[in-house]
């Protein structure tokens, strides 16, 4: 059995890459992906228990919070949470902290995966994909050093009220967006999006991907599509697609 465990939710690979980089420094660390098929509920017996997940709409993906509610962690276990975002950390860690008290909070900004809202370059600070990746790796290594040493660090989210408000409005905005998913004739029914979807919400029908309404908003299907056949509104056809440069689609299956 590994000594440490990291639970990771990732749509376009930034968070999986961060989790990998942290695990590399910690050593003997198992990474469990938060996906529809994960039946993991027992995190007792691990020295360090961590979460790495993106900020969505000023909060956390609901899959992460639902998962955390079912998880058993020994009181006194060292716990950490790292959120990746394009600009601001939001209330995700604060929400997770209410479910599983966290000893260490970390934030790593990276390229933006929310293609229908912003181009991927619009991140804070403004960096190219390569620069953002180097920075993310350095920050992950520093945080992993802290985590390895058992440093206790709680970073309360700035603008908590604004983020909380945004996060309150988010489900309605997201629901509208999800309804506008389109799969074009370019689809070659390769099935990659079916394997990527963390909620099993995509199926192949008559030689084409069909996206259901139970979407986690991760956008992995759209961003990794080899034919750029998936869109949410015309703006997503015009914008350059993005996924983490070190994470291939199959790493996320």
Ligand X SMILES: Cc1cc2nc3c(=O)[nH]c(=O)nc-3n(C[C@H](O)[C@H](O)[C@H](O)COP(=O)(O)O)c2cc1C
Binding to ligand X by residue 11, rule CB under 6 A? Answer: yes
Contact between 18 and 84 (Cβ < 8 Å): yes
199, with CB counted inside 10 A (0-12, 13-18, 19+), is middle
C-alpha 133/C-alpha 244 separation (Å) is 8
Binding of residue 20 to ligand X (CB under 6 A): no
Closest CA to 232 of 197, 183, 190: 183
Considering only 5, 20, 50, 54, the residue that binds ligand X (CB under 6 A) is 54
At residue 54, the 3 state secondary structure works out as strand
Out of 10, 20, 91, 133, the only residue in the binding site for ligand X (CB under 6 A) is: 10
Question: Rounded to an integer, what distance in angstroms lies between the CA atom of residue 111 and that of residue 4?
Answer: 28
Using the contact rule CB under 6 A, the part of the chain among 13-21, 71-79, 152-160, 231-239 near ligand X is 13-21
- The per-type count for the chain, helices as H runs and strands as E runs, is 8, 9
Provide the minimum distance between the beta carbon of 247 and ligand X in the complex, in angstroms, as a whole number: 8
Say whether residue 84 binds ligand X (CB under 6 A): yes
- The footprint of ligand X on this chain (CB under 6 A) covers a number of residues equal to 25
Query: Residue 21 interacts with ligand X (CB under 6 A)?
Result: no
For residue 150, count other CB atoms closer than 10 A to its CB: 12
Nearer Cβ to ligand X, position 85 or 230?
85
Stretch that binds ligand X, among 70-78, 79-87, 140-148, 231-239 (CB under 6 A): 79-87
Asked whether position 81 contacts ligand X by CB under 6 A, the answer is no
231 binds ligand X (CB under 6 A): no
Q: Which of 21, 29, 217, 236 binds ligand X (CB under 6 A)?
A: 217
Nearest to 116 by CA among 184, 193, 178: 178
Which region among 29-37, 53-61, 198-206, 231-239 touches ligand X (by CB under 6 A)? 53-61
* 83: Cα separation from own chain's centroid: 8
CA distance linking residue 186 with residue 161, whole number of Å: 43
Peptide bond into 53 cis (omega under 30): no
Identify which range of 25-33, 96-104, 147-155, 211-219 contacts ligand X by CB under 6 A: 211-219
Q: Residue 135, Cα to own-chain centre: how many angstroms?
A: 18
The least distance separating ligand X from the CB of residue 172, rounded to whole angstroms, comes to 13
Beta carbons of 220 and 229 less than 8 angstroms apart: no
Query: Is residue 87 a contact point for ligand X (CB under 6 A)?
Result: yes
Q: For residue 77, give the 3-state DSSP assignment.
A: coil
Nearer to ligand X, 192 or 217 (CB): 217
- Residue 133 contacts ligand X per CB under 6 A: no
Q: Does the protein bind ligand X through residue 55 (CB under 6 A)?
A: yes
Taking the complex as a whole, how short is the minimal distance between the CB of residue 18 and ligand X, in angstroms? 8
Residues that bind ligand X (CB under 6 A): 10-15, 54-58, 84-88, 90, 110, 112-114, 217-219, 244
């Amino acid at each position: 059995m590994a000594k440490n465990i990291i639970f990771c939710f990732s749509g376009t690979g930034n968070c999986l890459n961060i989790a990998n980089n942290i695990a590399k420094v910690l050593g003997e660390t198992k990474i469990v992906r938060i996906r529809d098929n994960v039946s993991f509920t027992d995190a007792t017996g691990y020295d360090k228990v961590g979460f790495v997940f993106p900020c969505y709409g000023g909060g956390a993906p609901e899959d992460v919070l639902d998962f955390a509610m079912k998880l058993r962690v020994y009181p006194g276990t060292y716990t950490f949470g790292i959120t990746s975002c394009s600009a601001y950390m939001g209330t995700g860690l604060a929400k997770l902290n209410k479910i599983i008290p966290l000893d260490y909070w970390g934030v790593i900004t990276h390229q933006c995966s929310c293609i229908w809202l912003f181009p991927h370059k619009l991140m804070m600070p403004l960096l190219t994909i390569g620069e953002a990746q180097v920075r993310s790796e350095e920050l992950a290594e520093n945080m992993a050093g802290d985590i390895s040493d058992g440093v206790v660090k709680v970073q309360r989210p700035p603008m908590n009220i604004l983020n909380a408000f945004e996060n309150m409005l988010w489900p309605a905005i997201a629901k509208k967006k999800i309804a506008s998913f389109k799969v074009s004739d370019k689809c070659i029914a390769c099935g990659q999006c079916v394997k990527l979807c963390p909620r099993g919400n995509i199926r192949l029908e008559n030689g084409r991907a069909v996206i259901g309404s139970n979407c986690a908003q991760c956008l992995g299907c759209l961003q990794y599509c080899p034919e750029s056949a998936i869109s949410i509104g015309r703006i997503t056809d015009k914008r350059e697609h993005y996924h983490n440069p070190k994470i291939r689609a199959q790493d996320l299956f």
